[in-house]
Amino acid sequence: MASQSFSLASVETGPLFSLSFSLTILAWLIADITTRTQQGWVLFNEAIYLFNERKLWWSAAREFCEDLQSVLTSVENEAEQIFLESEVKAAKQDFWIGLYWRNGWKWADSREYEIKHWAANMPLDSADNRCGFLQNQCRVPTKCWGNLQCGEEKRFICKKRPDKRWYS
């Protein structure tokens, strides 16, 4: 019996293979999102969010999100801010977001700090108040950010994008 060798060069690499591979990846991503929404993740635009019921201090919340291959949420635009506010208001709790102070305000996911939704008289200037949260009761819509000591315990919001950056 003759021995046959196999090499990657013999694998079909044409358009049909490429389409099949893309559909397989898409099906995997849809299955992942479906599973996560069944676990309490909420889909909005191009990301899924977990409004965690546990109360942790800010750095523990950040680590918890990272363990789920997600990040403590940033806010990228007005629509996302409005979505987050409505979820937080419905939960009737304040939630940590990925905003923190280190020689200026920064996002935990390294996004640019451009959009600002601070509540009146915020941020507090104290050196102790270095972590951002989303208030469940704010007087002015889209102006609901506050800042507190990072050691306070609050619920928190994890955010995950269904793309290769969040999968290992």
Q: What is the pLDDT of residues 26-43, one digit of tens each?
A: 555 565 555 555 468 899
Residue range 114-129: average pLDDT?
79
Residue range 45-60: average pLDDT?
94
Question: Domains in the chain, ordered, with CATH?
Answer: 51-166 (3.10.100.10)
Q: Based on the number of CB atoms within 10 Å of its own CB, is 114 exposed (0-12), middle (13-18) or buried (19 or more)?
A: exposed
Residue range 138-160: average pLDDT?
91
* Percent of the chain clearing pLDDT 90 (strictly above): 48
pLDDT of residue 128: 75
